[in-house]
Amino acid sequence: MPTPPTAGSAPRAPRPSRRSVLAAMAAAVPAAGLPVLSGRASAAPAAGALPGGGDLGPNVLVFDPATPNIQGTLDEIFKRQESAQFGEGRFALLFKPGTYRGLNAQIGFYTSIAGLGLSPGDTTFHGDVTVDAGWFNGNATQNFWRSAENLTLHPVNGTNRWAVAQAAPFRRMHIKGGLNLAPDGYGWASGGYIADSRIDGSVAPYSQQQWYTRDSSVGGWNNAVWNMVFSGVEGAPAQSFPDPPYTTLDTTPVSREKPFLYLDGAGYKVFLPEKRTNARGTTWGSGTPRGESLPLGQFYVAKPGVDAATLNAALAQGLNLLLTPGIYHLDRPVEVRRPNTVVLGLGYPTLVPDNGATAMKVADVDGVRLAGFLIDAGPVNSATLLEVGPEGASADHAANPTTVQDVFIRIGGAGPGKATTSMVINSNHTLIDHTWVWRADHGDGVGWETNRADYGVRVNGDDVLATGLFVEHFNKYDVEWRGERGRTVFFQNEKAYDAPNQAAIQNGDVKGYAAYKIADGVTTHEGWGLGSYCYYNVDPTIRQDHGFQAPAKPGVKLHHLLVVSLGGKGQYEHVINSIGAPTSGTSTVPSTVVSYP
């Protein structure tokens, strides 16, 4: 996303749009030759049943402080993954509890790094976990699909660098120092998300255009560009939108942290953090986090090459799913029907429906947890890619909602893909906690009709809460909210770059489809910190009536809205409905509305 220089940043020449990235930059590299250090845990299956537990596979690397040449292995994986934006490599780097010295873990595409303790302090680096943008000439706007989790860092120079864009969560981290969210040279950056983390020093976003931080603690926050949102963050800056553009909620209405793998003695377990209401601060700051654990023997440990029928058989047998790194081709949906089922991915496992199927369907049951995987649309159009609850779902899940966390959806980029509606939430009380739903604007299989995808996220259920909602580039509505009492804390959007002309996006009498539309019949809805950007580089004369569309009803309230024309490539006439000043010229200055109505 183009942006002018900001405080602390050096001037830069305008960058090309993301679509200019050559597909050759993301060639896959085989994983042969890397050490297999993964552990084992198993359970004896009944006759004819699928086994629980087992080896975590060749692309899960488990280290302990005595492992030889850890730095060499980290460097080798980074070399393979640094620019492999649309490659097939997938890795999880897991560190047993202990102290590690002198490491710099550089994290590339489809790479997750995590400690295997129950709390971040169990696994300590005297070193860094680094994301920078040297591969893309100092531009961090394409540093997608990577993660860090459950570690304590003592950065070598006092500050750790995590210069990321979308789909790069930073969870359960303790930084004994500062955190820099910008690349070396202060180039453009377009992230990002922090949750359940403590940064003892200051967070310095510098050139980051937007950021969402939830249920954490920071020693300070240095600056803002367009949209910085905080909920339940100790030490967050005071609310001051639009100047500076800080949106600060004292607490998060409802949250439940992502499940994670850890070691209990010699055996693996998955910890399931409990739900919190009006949450503030980390879950682990005052001792052992609250929740429950499941032994790995209650999981089917899936490897790439397994088919949907096998995954469904494991689920029907009562097992949960642990998806190890790799690509999974599906000829039918993965059907999650049992309450409290966990589907947890390690190292960005990727589900691809090959024949127009929906990748995953969840029944209208309590407490399902989906976390840590990517869904990639296939070449045959799918009506949907992820469905939480069937159409007409009506059960009350307030006490034990389904959570969708670090589940990312992509249409195109890695190759041709199509989907009419990417994510559909039908179940009431669902928590969407950090998702990036992306119709690709660069890579392979990209074009207005080539990777056609009309709708990004559609919410039909009532009482749904989204914390960290990133949805971009859809042909029509990016988010369409039909359920009652919905809430969103932080929304980031870009309209589709590649609209060929005004007629292609005309919505009846309205110019363009809103990025975030609340259906006319909705009576109660609330949102905080919502931004939409346009970059119509194919036809810069396109006009968009507004970024947001909402019914004029007392119960529909939106706070801290902005729209931005990136470099004058297209313009917004208003912010929401017919309210808010138009964007104009090439100044890349947001037009804002503090409160609607």
Active site residues: 494
Q: What helix, strand, coil percent values describe the chain, rounded to 5? A: 5, 40, 50
Please provide the DSSP assignment of 300-361 as one string: EEE-TT--HHHHHHHHHTT-EEEE-SSEEEESS-EEE-STT-EEEESS--EEEESSS--SEE
Among 525, 512, 491, which Cα is nearest to 597's? Answer: 525
Tokens (6 digits) for 34: 């890397």
Give the contacts of 157 (CB within 8 A, at least 6 positions apart). Answer: none
d(CA 306, CA 304): 6
Among 289, 25, 238, which Cα is nearest to 133's? Answer: 25
d(CA 493, CA 190): 11
Pure H helices in 155-265: none
Give the contacts of 279 (CB within 8 A, at least 6 positions apart). Answer: 215, 232, 251, 252, 254, 255
- For tokens 């359920």, name the residue: 483
The burial of 551, by beta-carbon neighbours within 10 Å (0-12 exposed, 13-18 middle, 19 or more buried), is given as: middle
Tokens (6 digits) for 69: 């040449």
Please provide the DSSP assignment of 90-151 as one string: -EEEEE-SEEEEEEEEE--TTEEEEE-SSSGGGEEEEEEEEB--GGGTT--TT--SEEEES-
Apex 211 CA angle, 87 and 593, nearest 5: 125
Phi first, then psi, for residue 501 (nearest 5°) are: -170, 175
DSSP state, residue 475: S
CA distances from 550 to 491, 519, 579 (A): 15, 7, 11
d(CA 449, CA 538): 14
Residues across the chain: 597
